[in-house]
Amino acid sequence: MVEEKLNDVASDDKRRRTERIGVPSPTPLSGLISNEKSRIDTGISEFNRVLGGGLVRGSLTLISGEPGIGKSTLIVQAAAEIASRIGPVLYVTGEESEEQIKLRTDRVCQVGLDRLFLLAETNIETITAVTEAMNPSLLIIDSIQTMYSEELESAPGSVSQVRACANELMRIGKGKDIPVFIVAHVTKSGDLAGPKIIEHLVDCVLNFYGERNQDLRILRAYKNRFGTTSEIGAFSMGESGLSQIENLSESFLEGMEDGAEGYVASAIYEGTRPLLLEVQSLTSPTGMGFPRRTALGVELSRLNMILAVLDRKAGISLTDQDVYVNVVGGLKPEGTSTDLAVALAITSSFRRIPGDRHTLAIGEIGLTGHLRPVQNAEKIVREAARMGFSRILLPKKNADRLNELPAGLRLIGVQSLREAIDEMKQI
């Protein structure tokens, strides 16, 4: 139960208000000036790309992620860059002490420390006052769940507080035309007062994720009023903070070994670039009870569908097998271009067919067992050639449309999953 205060303005008052301020007149679109050019470079190109080409002035950006994943580290690195090149940055911390942040910035930031201002504060009214007085070129709130407004009685982190604080931040940001970053924690269970309740209000929702025991961190936009939501940014968490991964495909593929069973290289198209990755699978006879299906990076429902198609359309029945599937690197690809690789990796493990490091497979599997074409196949094929692949299994429709191939590359167009499996056996 959440308390909502009623705001009882009499309709009389409302009428008087319109009389006082008059009726505003709408503007034609052609008369508006877009400030697209004035995007702020965060100094981190992976970050810029996810934002759609830099930070828009007056925009509100929510950065969500599990506690400890590296949100504060990312933000402080961008803040230092912006401070050094654009102007003073106000970093409001409600979680860590100034000393703690100092320790971190000393380690991860090389520039801009003289213009990066810290404020350990959780009262949103005080933060507004400081922002008004200081006029920073960027405001950072870490995290929204620790902030509170005096006007409400509920505890920080509650639905009404989070919403009130976000509204206030929007007012400051739009009023002063400065970008505002809001850090928000989400837990695996996705608690109620999490960032979900303010997603509609902000301009961008970014999610920062990764496996905690691995270095890879992915930044992805779930909502972006100024760009696409299909871009991802890749980082590696190390001794001195986050560093950008320029060639993500390379790091995803480095573990592939000829002769091993149960792996197939595949590719997805994220935003403006193809990304190559490795799909692994292991099947093992079920000991007792129900067979297990465990998928990392692939949706379980998708895996079940692929298993059903393998059974009915390719004669590979896994009803007495546990099946594990893993997209190496902790990435969760969206889209269906990895379907074929998932099916082939499972088949490779089950039928003991050794994998081939120079073959890549893409294609969406339909319920009929036929392969559907993938988008941007040409760009994927070129990237695969660049990365040293020499054979590409792909839907026939895609293969037919491609000409002028890079030298030394063989395309194998297949119509169905069964055909693809036959091809794999011959390789």
The residues binding ligand TYD (CB under 6 A) are 65, 67-73, 104, 107-108, 237, 240-241
Binding part of the chain for Mg ion, among 65-73, 104-112, 295-303, 399-407 by CB under 5 A, reads 65-73
Q: Which residue is nearest to ligand TYD (CB)?
A: 72
Identify the helix (H) or strand (E) that includes residue 151. none
Which of Mg ion, ligand TYD, none interacts with 240 (beta carbon under 5 to 8 A by kind)?
A: ligand TYD
Whichever of 237 and 275 has its CB closer to ligand TYD, that residue is: 237
- Out of Mg ion, ligand TYD, none, what residue 67 binds, judged by CB under 5 to 8 A for its kind, is ligand TYD
Query: Is residue 105 at the binding interface for Mg ion, with CB under 5 A as the rule?
Result: no
Query: Judged by CB, which is closer to ligand TYD: 95, or 121?
Result: 95
Output the six-digit token pair for 66: 């599990």
Taking the least distance from each CB to ligand TYD, the nearer of 109 and 328 is 109
Q: Which is nearer to Mg ion, 95 or 378 (CB)?
A: 95
Q: Which is nearer to Mg ion, 84 or 145 (CB)?
A: 145
Q: What torsion do the CA atoms of 199, 229, 43, 383 make, to the nearest 10 degrees?
A: 160
Nearer CB in complex with ligand TYD: 73/280: 73
Q: Which does 115 bind (CB under 5 to 8 A by kind): ligand TYD, Mg ion, none?
A: none
Return the one option of Mg ion, ligand TYD, none that residue 65 interacts with (CB less than 5 to 8 A, by type): ligand TYD
Is the CB of 144 or the CB of 345 nearer to ligand TYD?
A: 144
Candidate list 48, 72, 149, 376; residue touching Mg ion; CB under 5 A: 72
What single string gives the DSSP state of each residue in 113-125? Answer: GGGEEEEE--BHH
Element (H, E) at 218: strand 216-224
d(CA 310, CA 137): 56
CA angle in degrees (0–180, nearest 5) for 101-103-106: 105
Q: CB nearer to ligand TYD: give 94 or 333.
A: 94
424 makes contact, choosing from Mg ion, ligand TYD, none, with CB < 5 to 8 Å by partner type, with: none
Residue 382 token pair = 């070129």
- Nearest distance from C-beta of residue 78 to ligand TYD, angstroms: 12
Q: Which two tokens stand for residue 171?
A: 């007012």
Determine the number of helices (DSSP H) and then strands (DSSP E) in the chain. Answer: 12, 18
Alpha-carbon distance of 415 to 345, in angstroms, equals: 18
CB of 344 to Mg ion, least distance (A): 41
Query: Contacts with Mg ion: how many residues (CB under 5 A)?
Result: 1
> What radius of gyration do the chain's Cα atoms show?
26
Residue 108 binding target from Mg ion, ligand TYD, none, CB below 5 to 8 Å by type: ligand TYD
Strands 263-270 and 232-238: unpaired
Neighbours of 116 (CB within 10 A): 24
The burial class, CB within 10 Å (0-12 / 13-18 / 19+), for 253 is: buried
The item of ligand TYD, Mg ion, none sharing an interface with residue 241, based on CB under 5 to 8 Å by kind, is: ligand TYD
End-to-end C-alpha distance for the chain, whole angstroms: 62
* Part in contact with Mg ion (CB under 5 A); list of ranges 68-76, 152-160, 272-280, 373-381: 68-76
Q: How far apart are CA 354 and CA 142, in angstroms?
A: 49
Query: What size, in residues, is the chain?
Result: 427
User: By the criterion CB under 5 A, which residues form the site for Mg ion?
Assistant: 72
